[in-house]
Structure 1
Amino acid sequence: MTKVWHEGLSTPILCVCASSGPAGLIASGSEGGDVVVWSQEGCVVSHLNLPGADDCTSVAFSPSPSGLLYASHGDTVRAYDLRNFKDAVQEFVGAGEEEINALALSEDGSTLALADDSGAVRILELPGGKVCRTLRRHTNICSSVAFRPHRPNNLLSAGLDMQVMLWSLQKTRPLWNLKLQDISEEEVDHQQRPGQLFNPPLAHCVSVACCGNVVACAAEDGRVHLMRVGAGSKLERQGAFKAHRQGASQAHFMPFFSHPYWLATGGNDGQVAVWDISKHAVVAAEEVKVKGAAASYRKGKRKGKKNMEAQDEKDEDDVETKPNSGPKVNISHGDKVNWLCPALLKGTASLIVADQSSSLTVYPLPGL
């Protein structure tokens, strides 16, 4: 049953995150700098207002036992101890060159990445908050960052320059960057009707599956762009599928289902959807490649190398042309989605949605 959590405030909620700790707390940040911590039942556990009038643009729980909550506003990041939520235990003024849009913590909680309006990505060592890297390749606002699971030195970033980049934190240049407009323009060439307009694929939100090899990025063209990272952190394959009639603002993998390729998306069309992308060409490529190689080897023993290569090409074509099966869950939320947060609430897989209101909407997903 859908539930609505009210915080008693009047400003729209901009960001949401879920704790992996035993209490399973939820945090939200709002316009005007309000930060609220919620219980799994939707009760307000703590509430504070960040200094100044800046909006709270991102919140993130530390995965370490410290139990800290990080919140960004303006160019500043503050950390709060959930046992004493009144005063910040750490304060990183000027952590961003301009207003911070997104925070991401490494799996061990020792590194904090932030994306800001200047296009820069800054890497802070914790707990001290020392800036150890500043990554500058985005030519417009950097909107989202995400660490690759199991690879603490790899970081994804996405921006309004329509680019997604994979960084090694040991270097100051990306290992690769993907220009989303190149993919979209190729699709438009095949699909556009006379007089039809397409939004540019401004990259809003990047997420990495728990396997660490599949990346999803929600973009303004209404598509979710997919990338597969192969050996040596190389970009192995990329593609996209249409997810929303208007801009897709959110894409988050849901790690608590039967496989790591369940993806939740939200858009400016007021729709929330859950997708099983395990059969998409980008995701399934490795499995098909292995099966195709085995089949080709058996046939190649009889027919020679030329037939092996032809069979390999056929196997890849079969995958690439397989259509997307559509969302497994499609919810008409009715309002533009600011943030999506997958969470396990009292053992039930759920989606927490922040929109233009001051409330959170919770959609249980018990059937998946």
Structure 2
Amino acid sequence: MTYSLRDSIKVPAAVSALSFGSQGNLAVGSADGSVRVYKLPSLKVLKAIRQLGDEVSSICWLNNRDAQIGEICVASGRNAYSFNLDTEKLILAPTDALVSLELGEDDEDVVNELNVNENKKYLSFSSDAGSVGIVDLSTRQITRMKTRHNSICDTVKFVPHRSSEIVSGGYDSAILHHDFFQRNLLSRFDITAAALPSSGVSLSPPFVLSLALSPCGLIAAGTADGRIWLGAGGDKATNAPKRKKGRKWEGLQESEGTWIQVADGPIVAAAFTGETTLIISTLLGRLVCYSVSYDNEGHLVANERWQSAVEAINKVNAIAVNQGSLVVGGLDEFGKGIAEVWSLD
């Protein structure tokens, strides 16, 4: 599996969030509080959202399969907004939002990531205050987990095929596994710092900056000290060792995981494409694709299948992957926004 740079999307402010919808539409969020939607390979803007007021930190799609473009949920500042993009308006404003929710606990509590679960009934969120929460999309009720991170909670994901389980990662170097119906902590993994490199220069603390879960429950966590932790305890892929089905996902078992040292700098984004292919990006734009498998003894193995580097991005903030494309977003040398579109060869 290899990718080639095909095109670039340029916008006035830094690209801060990316997301593919089920129809193949790409949403690009920016630091100036705007969102632009494209239908690749065309670089013509289909729809835009402006004047959200704060950086767009996350985007997820709520649309059903019959939608022409769909419904989108956008995090900006302490708020989350949902918009129906199947409207005659080309440019939408906050007053056009179907729903506006205050998810941050105060003005300083910025929402960092949004995700919607498989049946589109629940929205998860993480915030600067370390809180992890759920929104019931039918009632708009907000529920926060009893256990929060001791620092910024940067990322949160739903566990596939588990009706009430989410995992979150934070700047306290912890991955927390929650039951959001009971609001209880089910398990946790506290990450320790890596040994000093041979140069004697200390690495960054192992803050958890990115999480990805495969469709079968394999987890990848990217840290600020350039490592990826792969956790296989909850992996139900066809090539995974046969495990008894437990009452809860067991993905944070340290004994079932393995570490990959990718770079000296932060792993800012990670995404699975399919059951066994993981793509990551570092802050400075090193792109690596791994194929995850198991050896004859059932131990987890990650083989590097492709690597490259961005061409015009000075700092990467986000990636998005679908079946045929990899999009990498951030800012260029002049501080402007740019998203590089890479195609699967």
User: In percent, how many aligned pairs have the same letter?
Assistant: 22
Deviations 1:220-247 (A, max 9, x none): 1101111123433233422210122311
- 1:81 paired residue among 80, 84, 89: 84
Distance 2:29 2:51 in 1: 10
Higher relative helix content: 1
Q: 1:122 aligns with which of 109, 122, 133?
A: 133
Contact 1:35/1:50, CA 8 A, preserved across alignment: no
Describe how 1:175-190 pairs up with structure 2 within 5 A.
Answer: 175-181=186-192, 184-185=193-194, 188=195
Contact 1:5 1:43 (C-alpha < 8 Å) held by counterparts: no
Match of 2:305 in 1: 328
Larger Rg: 1
Report if the CA contact (8 A) 1:146-1:207 is conserved: yes
Q: Are 1:240 and 2:241 counterparts?
A: no
Whole-angstrom distance in 2 between the partners of 1:111 and 1:74 = 20
SS at structure 2 position matched to 1:244:
coil
Q: Give the letter for the 1:89 counterpart.
A: L
3-state SS of 2:297 partner: helix
Q: Is the 8 A contact 2:233 2:257 kept in 1?
A: no
Count how many residue pairs are aligned between Structure 1 and Structure 2.
Answer: 308
Q: TM-score, normalised by structure 2?
A: 0.83
Contact in 2 for aligned 1:64/1:108 (Cα 8 Å): no
Q: Distance in 1 between matches of 2:261 and 2:199?
A: 20
Q: Specify the alignment match of 1:293 in structure 2.
A: none
Superposition pairs of residues 84-103 of structure 1, within 5 angstroms: 84=87, 86=92, 87-92=96-101, 94-97=102-105, 98-103=109-114
Higher relative contact order (CA 8 A, sep 6+): 2
Residue 20 of structure 1, CA deviation: 1.1
Pairwise CA distance, 1:124: 0.4
* Residue 30 of structure 1: aligned partner: 30
Deviation of 1:195 (Å): 2.5
Ranges in structure 1 where 5+ consecutive residues have no aligned partner? 290-318
Between the aligned partners of 1:355 and 1:133, the Cα distance in structure 2 is 30
Match of residue 301 from structure 1:
none
| Cα pair 1:107 1:152 within 8 Å, conserved | no
Q: CA RMSD in A?
A: 2.0
1:210-267 per-residue CA deviation (whole Å, 9 max, x = no partner) reads 112x100111110111112343323342221012231111111112xxxx11000000
User: Per-residue displacement from partner, 1:79-123 (whole Å, max 9, x unpaired)?
Assistant: 00011262111111x222210000010111110000000000111
1:57: which partner in 2?
A: 57
Question: Could you state the TM-score of these two structures normalised by the residue count of structure 1?
Answer: 0.78
Say if 1:263 and 1:130 are closer, same or farther in 2 by CA, change over 3 A. Answer: same
Going from structure 1 to structure 2, the CA distance change for 1:166 and 1:64 (only over 3 Å counts) comes to: farther
Matched, 1:340 2:319: yes
SS in 1 for 2:316: coil
Q: Give the distance between the partners of 1:110 and 1:167, measured in 2 at CA.
A: 17
Alpha-carbon distance in 1 for matches of 2:137, 2:144: 13
CA distances 1:313-350 after superposition (whole Å, capped 9, x unpaired): xxxxxx47x7x54x211112153221111123xxxx22
